[in-house]
Amino acid sequence: MNVFYLICLFVTICVVNGKMRPRGVSISMASKYQPNERNKFNCINGFGEIPYDHLNDDYCDCDDGTDEPGTSACANGKFHCTNAGYIPKYIQSSRVNDGVCDCCDGTDEYGGKIECVNNCKELGKAMREEQDQKRRLHEEGFKKRDGFIAEVKRIMEEKNVKIQELEKEKAELEVRLKELEALKAEHEGPEKEAKDRHEQVWKEQKEAKEKERSALRAREAFDDLDLNKDGFCDILEIIPHMEFDIDSNGIVSEEEAKEHLEDQEKVDFDEFSSKIWGNIQGIYKKLVPEEEKKETPPPVEPQGETETLVPPEEPQEEEHVDEEKMPEYDEETKALIAAADEARKKYEEADKRSKDIDGEITSLTSYLNTDYGKDKEFAVLRDQCYEYTDREYTYKLCPFSTASQRPKSGGHETNLGRWGRWEDDHYKTMVYDHGQNCWNGPDRSVKVHITCGPEHQLTNAYEPSRCEYAFDFVTPCACNQPPPVHDKDPHDEL
């Protein structure tokens, strides 16, 4: 600190570069404190004029407090800390000579209450070192950003070329699909005719066998009902069969029996099989003789150690071929089916490829149409994910896709939002919305605040308001042109 500056600390008005400057006034405001031709000072707001020697006389004359920049006389006054070598600033005039060093150059405490050490140069040096470090990191990020832009340009060109190739393949495939569809129809016609013929023959055979079995059951039922064997089934022979009890009163009346005989007194077998059997075969039950109804006494358990009795083998019923299962196709039909299957396979493969191409084109178009910043620098973040963990949750950000959180202790992942848009044209804030709904509240959403840094990193996650989250994300993509390096400290006013 030069001697001239020390003197200025203890006088009301200094002269710098030929201009008068009262204590507490910045160099940029010094011209407003020059005396007029009548040696008067005009209050800065234009309301009032005072003698020039009333400046900093510890009495507030101006309403705006501008006549006392170097004292605490005015409640609304402002004292300017020059802080040569560091950052100049204004403080409330009430803090002048209050025993606390507010200015790093100590100019606010000239009354003798306390001796302030001027540490502006040390603070300025530390600040410049910090600024230099930030500048270096910014330059590092900026170089990476340039690399990203070049990489993205190459990727975009590749994707455009890929779309053109896919569209060409799609056009060729559409022609091929029409040919394969015609070939498929050509083979499916004879296949269907052969299969229909085979199934019709099988159906007719089944119906014939069923008709034969039904006739046999009708004969057995008629013989069972014809108790007197006179060749007729009459009302009295129907009455013993309780399955014909229409009103479920435990008795088959003559009227009920006659109703089952289609209002006839008796019928012969031909009439029974053609008119009666079809109506009663679902409920008909063969009579069981009374002696067969008697219960068989339970077997007596053997006493003591005896050999295990093996029950006699029951006669096994003759196994019948499952007539419900259609027999195999003949060789000619099998060949027609194989040819149709091959035609269908080729068509389905081509159709699947066509749908896959549509999906690829949609995905590529979506990639190309997304807003990745002024120079598309943020495109390198797509298909990547970054995590940040605090005491309770692990947060995940997948740029241009989703944001989510999951408990550290385990559990389901909660969708906080899907990529929506940039909040403004400066590409500083991403918005992810339409996340999982909060109970009795809105859908979750996230704002991602982006700053410059040498690496991609999710550095913080918090919830400013219920169900509305905020992430801090550092990336070289946000490093624009770094500020120029100044040889001279712009804050050094003296």
Of 89, 118, 147, which marks where a domain is finished?
A: 118
Lowest mean pLDDT among 190-194, 214-218, 332-336: 214-218
The answer to whether residue 41 scores a pLDDT higher than 90 is: yes
Higher pLDDT, 424 or 359: 359
pLDDT level of residue 463 (50, 70, 90 thresholds): very high
Average pLDDT of the chain is 87
Evaluate whether residue 60 is within a structural domain.
Answer: yes
Q: Model confidence over 148-159: pLDDT tens digits?
A: 999 999 999 999
Evaluate whether residue 56 is within a structural domain.
Answer: yes
Evaluate whether residue 79 is within a structural domain.
Answer: yes
Report, as an integer, the average pLDDT of 456-473.
96
Q: What is the CATH number of the domain that holds 400?
A: 2.70.130.10
pLDDT at residue number 52:
92
DSSP letter, residue 384: -
Exposure letters 86-110 (e unless 16+ CB within 10 A, then b): bebbebebebbbbeebbbbbbbbbb
The amino acid at 116: C
The answer to whether residue 133 scores a pLDDT higher than 90 is: no
How many other CB atoms are there within 10 angstroms of residue 223's CB atom? 12
Lowest mean pLDDT among 18-27, 140-149, 463-472: 18-27
Share of the chain above pLDDT 70, in %: 86
Report, as an integer, the average pLDDT of 22-50.
89
Share of the chain above pLDDT 90, in %: 60
Q: How far apart are CA 429 and CA 446, in angstroms?
A: 10
pLDDT level of residue 303 (50, 70, 90 thresholds): low
Evaluate whether residue 441 is within a structural domain.
Answer: yes
Q: How far apart are CA 419 and CA 431, in angstroms?
A: 7
Evaluate whether residue 182 is within a structural domain.
Answer: no
Length of the chain: 494
Torsion, CA 379, CA 382, CA 384, CA 389, rounded to 10 = 90
Of 118, 136, 166, which marks where a domain is finished?
A: 118
Evaluate whether residue 136 is within a structural domain.
Answer: no
pLDDT at residue number 434:
96
Q: How far apart are CA 13 and CA 5, in angstroms?
A: 12
DSSP letter, residue 41: E
Report, as an integer, the average pLDDT of 11-34.
74
473 by DSSP, 3-state: which?
A: strand
Of 62, 95, 118, which marks where a domain is finished?
A: 118
pLDDT at residue number 13:
57
Evaluate whether residue 54 is within a structural domain.
Answer: yes
pLDDT level of residue 490 (50, 70, 90 thresholds): very low
> For residue 164, what are the contacts with CB-CB under 8 A and spacing of at least 6?
none
**Using an 8 Å Cβ cutoff, are 286 and 224 in contact?**
yes
pLDDT at residue number 7:
42
Q: Model confidence over 262-275: pLDDT tens digits?
A: 889 898 999 998 89
Report, as an integer, the average pLDDT of 272-285.
89
Residue 401: domain span: 377-478
Evaluate whether residue 315 is within a structural domain.
Answer: no
Count of structural domains within the chain: 2
Q: Name the residue among 292, 285, 291 with its Cα closest to residue 240.
A: 285
Q: What are phi and psi of 418, to 5 degrees?
A: -110, 155
The answer to whether residue 468 scores a pLDDT higher than 60 is: yes
